[in-house]
């Protein structure tokens, strides 16, 4: 059975790239592009893994991550945070908020694939 990943990202080029590499690897990829109703997307799509951008229209990825972690049904779902902001304080905030992994943009396709595979395998 295919594993389901929900990519919450608002940059079309990143959506296309990540969707392509994960679909090619056998993932069922669904996308969502704003923070306003991201939690509804999580509930509706029941993902095995969430890839979450930090800077989204409507709400920040950190807020959405806190929502995911405080929802008993999704609290243990692995979340890979993606951000253009690579400062240590951002990484620390992601870890405190419950991110499973944190990756800065730009990233390589291989990095994303390795991260996703290891997060679901563990």
Q: Is the pTM of this model over 0.85?
A: yes
pLDDT score of 86: 76
Q: Is the pLDDT of residue 110 over 90?
A: yes
Q: Is the pLDDT of residue 105 over 80?
A: yes
pLDDT score of 93: 87
Count other C-beta atoms under 10 Å from residue 67's C-beta.
15
pLDDT score of 79: 98
Q: Is the pLDDT of residue 62 over 80?
A: yes
The backbone torsions φ and ψ at residue 60, rounded to the nearest 5 degrees and listed phi first, read: -80, 155
CATH topology for the 4-121 domain: Rossmann fold (3.40.50)
121 confidence band (pLDDT: 50, 70, 90): confident
pLDDT score of 1: 61
């Amino acid at each position: 059975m295919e594993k389901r990943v929900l990519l919450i990202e608002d940059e079309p080029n990143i959506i296309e790239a990540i969707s392509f590499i994960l679909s090619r690897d056998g993932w069922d990829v669904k996308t969502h592009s704003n923070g306003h109703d991201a939690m509804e997307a999580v509930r509706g799509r029941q993902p095995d893994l969430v890839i979450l951008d930090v800077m989204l229209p409507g709400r920040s990825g950190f807020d959405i991550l806190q929502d995911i972690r405080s929802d008993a049904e999704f609290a243990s779902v692995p979340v890979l945070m993606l951000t253009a902001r690579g400062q240590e304080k951002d990484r620390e905030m992601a870890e405190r908020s419950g991110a499973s992994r944190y990756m800065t943009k730009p990233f390589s396709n291989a990095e994303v694939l390795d991260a996703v595979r290891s997060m679901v395998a563990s």
